[in-house]
Structure 1
Amino acid sequence: MRRRTFIKSAGAAGVSALLAGCTGGSGTEQTTTDSGGSTQTETTSSTGTTVGGEDQTLVVGTYGSFVDAPSTSPGPWLKDQFESEFDATLEWQTPDAGVNHYIERALRGVESGADLYVGLDAQMLVRVDEKLDDALFAPAEGLSRLGDVNEQLEFDPDGRAVPYDTGYISLVYDETQSEGGKFTAPETFDGLLDPEYEGALLAQNPTSSATGLAFLLHTIDAKGEDGYLDYWAELKENDVRVLGNWSDSYTAYSNGEAPMVVSYSTDQVYANESGADMAKHQIRFLNDQGFANPEGMAPFADAASPDLASEFMDFMLRPEVQAEIAVRNVAFPATTTAELPEEFAKYAHEPPEAVTFSYDRLQGNLSGWTDEWAREFASK
């Protein structure tokens, strides 16, 4: 029997990926301090274009692993391809606080310093609108490929954020972690509560992790707004371990601390590429469902180069670019026109049924749900 462990937290915080690094090309260096007090240097063009009618500069904010993941990242490839076709220079910004960095700038009355943000989801967009009175993002206009986007993945009723990929949250489990025979993950949310799975699940804090929040929302969908806290109380009683973020929990899983972890249904793609034992990377969709978490891109309302931002968004929706983003970001395309390589498609699993929450369902509810979860569990 595993010792009961549950995350302790100061309370619900804004959901954002805490990502390291900052990139950029020539321009003006600015040293800023984010909401967590950390200092970073970013390089931006002061006007968004170079002097004398030369190439324009497109400044794109995103999360760190989109540009500099240890394995592969779409960012460098996108920069090379875009610059080879357009008379423009693409500069990436990867502030540690993610989109919260731009929220804090807006709260201080400082311009965003970027033209576009890549990496928004519905939860983040709700947080943005809760924090700010004035618009941080503008509607995406003039996109010729907008009709190629899968309508089921669209999450912004105001047309600001356009999906460019999606992931599905699932359980990943290790068949080898069993004293007799193969370990098998349960098929339902209720199954997770069985005594045989005591101490067997690693999850993430929904107030600080995108995967953790997606799993929380999936439990709300499965158990209802009136029942999800009771369900989590039963998970806690069955010794679920809730760690800070995906990296923390997956590292613990990789070290054999538990046979199941909340992760992504593309886990076998990594396992196949690294030659890992596939028995340690099995996928389970609880209730035959996966929580879809589409990522979107949106132009900043104060973009210095809005037309160039639109061109880049259209570029991102091309079939061949969509396929490349999916492979490099280990996700699924957002459009219906992209074709994935056979080897990738073999190991990237889609659920029988996708579950997601629209912006309208999250608006006015998201903070309450996460605050209630934190009050009940994270502070105990």
Structure 2
Amino acid sequence: MRSVRALASTALVGLTATALTACSLVGGGDDDERAADGSTPPGGSEVVLVTHESFTLPEEVLAAFEEESGYRLKVRSAGDAGSLTNRLVLTKSSPLGDVVFGVDNTFASRALEEGVIADTDVERPAGAATYDLEAGEGSDDLVPVDTGNVCVNIDDTWFAREGLEPPTTLDDLTDPAYRDLLVVPGATTSSPGLAFLLATIAEEGDGWADYWERLVGNGAKLVDGWSDAYQVDFTQGGGKGDRPIVVSYDSSPAFTLDGEGGTTTSALLDTCFRQVEYAGLLEGAENPEGGEALLEFLLGPEVQAALPESMYVFPVRDDVELPADWARFAEQPTEAYAVDPAEIAANRDTWLREWSDVTTR
């Protein structure tokens, strides 16, 4: 098992193209490229996937899609999930590609309301329908691909060394005992940051802004995204950081193994907010047939089995066996925080403005 740092490095190497620059993921081929059955794919030989900066899958998995479908796959990276959704809205009259992957349940309503997702009829595999968006216009057109929980993580080795009892709840994070120990990705600049904000709203209700005042007053550090928080500032992220508390995922402890059969970190399961990432066909796609084929492939057993060790997320299929280390260390909460998608849609902009005001005072 590789560490989080190694996995993240692999992802970054695989996606070194600048945002919105297309790159072939698995090689060339000419315009007469054919599917495995010898047929020429309809709608053109190239299919373009627009996704977030953390997208990565094994080359052999992506090569299988090209071989089976006959399409060449290209990706366009558009930042984090929030940036991705914004770019889709801004470019909806001239879409960036054929398929989007990485719009999560905190931004899905905006993508649907803005009309950037086209009608599609992709069959869900066993278990996937559990993660469908709640009923609403266009809700069936975003297909769930993966899931996970955004949770506060702690460096167990740091707390043991310092002889300090670690926090367990959101409220604990405002305790002076944990001053200057927490790093958080921003709610306006990252999907895990927004998920963490929503967890605090679910917990604190109308008092969430006061909670954030206390949190920031207790020295919480705000950074742009997950990579900055985990890989740079977190003490177990590989960047020699000095913060032993970080907002990350319930799967993160499966990647911080100590080489002796254990892990050096824990996810605080009473702090979690569930995320689901979706894929959809873009309205106005140049190659809708290729887009449909790619959506079906993302739900197929090859991609679903590769998700845990490639992107640290759980598959939505219930017939996929998880890696052994996940079974031991990627513990999921029995009950996670949730906010109704309609409430998110109605209040997201207001909440983000208020959050920005509170955190920049």
Q: Which residue of 2 aligns with 1:293?
A: 275
TM-fit CA distance, 1:314: 2.0
- Partner SS state of residue 374, structure 1: helix
Matches of 2:249 and 2:324, distance apart in 1: 19
Matches of 2:299 and 2:14, distance apart in 1: 27
CA 244–237 in structure 1, closer or farther in 2 if over 3 Å, else same = same
Determine which of 284, 290, 299 is the counterpart of 1:308. 290
- Tell me if 1:154 matches 2:138: no
- Tell me if 1:238 matches 2:245: no
RMSD over aligned Cα atoms: 3.1
Determine which of 250, 260, 270 is the counterpart of 1:265. 250
Q: What is the correspondence of 1:42-53 to structure 2 with a 5 Å cutoff?
A: 42=22, 50=31
CA 348–155 in structure 1, closer or farther in 2 if over 3 Å, else same = farther
CA 268–57 in structure 1, closer or farther in 2 if over 3 Å, else same = same
Q: Which residue of 2 aligns with 1:118?
A: 101
Matches of 1:215 and 1:346, distance apart in 2: 25
Determine which of 67, 71, 87 is the counterpart of 1:101. 87
Determine which of 324, 327, 332 is the counterpart of 1:350. 332
8 Å contact kept, 2:193–2:225: yes
Q: Give CA-to-partner distance per residue, 1:5-32, whole Å, 9 cap, x none.
A: xxxxxxxxxxxxx999576xxxxxxxxx
Matches of 1:303 and 1:335, distance apart in 2: 27
Paired letter, 1:100:
N
- Percent identity reads 27
CA 126–258 in structure 1, closer or farther in 2 if over 3 Å, else same = same
Q: Give TM-score, length-normalised by structure 1.
A: 0.76
Q: Give CA-to-partner distance per residue, 1:192-240, whole Å, 9 cap, x none.
A: 222222222211211112111111000000011x110011112123222
8 Å contact kept, 2:131–2:276: no
Gap runs ≥5 in structure 1 = 1-17, 24-37, 67-72
Q: Which residue of 2 aligns with 1:7?
A: none
Q: Which residue of 2 aligns with 1:202?
A: 183
User: How many residue pairs end up in the alignment?
Assistant: 327
Q: Which residue of 2 aligns with 1:189?
A: 170
8 Å contact kept, 1:208–1:244: yes
Q: Give TM-score, length-normalised by structure 2.
A: 0.79
Matches of 1:126 and 1:222, distance apart in 2: 22
- Tell me if 1:319 matches 2:298: no
8 Å contact kept, 1:166–1:294: yes
Matches of 1:240 and 1:263, distance apart in 2: 15
Q: Which residue of 1 aligns with 2:72?
A: 89
8 Å contact kept, 1:22–1:64: no
Q: Which residue of 2 aligns with 1:15?
A: none
Matches of 2:358 and 2:65, distance apart in 1: 48
CA 89–115 in structure 1, closer or farther in 2 if over 3 Å, else same = same
Paired letter, 1:247:
S
TM-fit CA distance, 1:365: 0.7
TM-fit CA distance, 1:184: 3.5
Q: Which residue of 1 aligns with 2:36?
A: none
Q: Which residue of 2 aligns with 1:32?
A: none
8 Å contact kept, 2:128–2:318: yes
Q: Which residue of 2 aligns with 1:35?
A: none
8 Å contact kept, 1:171–1:264: yes
- Partner SS state of residue 350, structure 2: helix
Paired letter, 1:94:
S
8 Å contact kept, 1:122–1:155: no
Matches of 2:60 and 2:129, distance apart in 1: 24
Matches of 2:57 and 2:135, distance apart in 1: 23
8 Å contact kept, 2:152–2:271: no
8 Å contact kept, 1:211–1:263: yes
- Partner SS state of residue 339, structure 1: coil
TM-fit CA distance, 1:369: 0.6
Paired letter, 1:145:
R
TM-fit CA distance, 1:368: 0.7
8 Å contact kept, 1:153–1:334: no
TM-fit CA distance, 1:337: 2.4
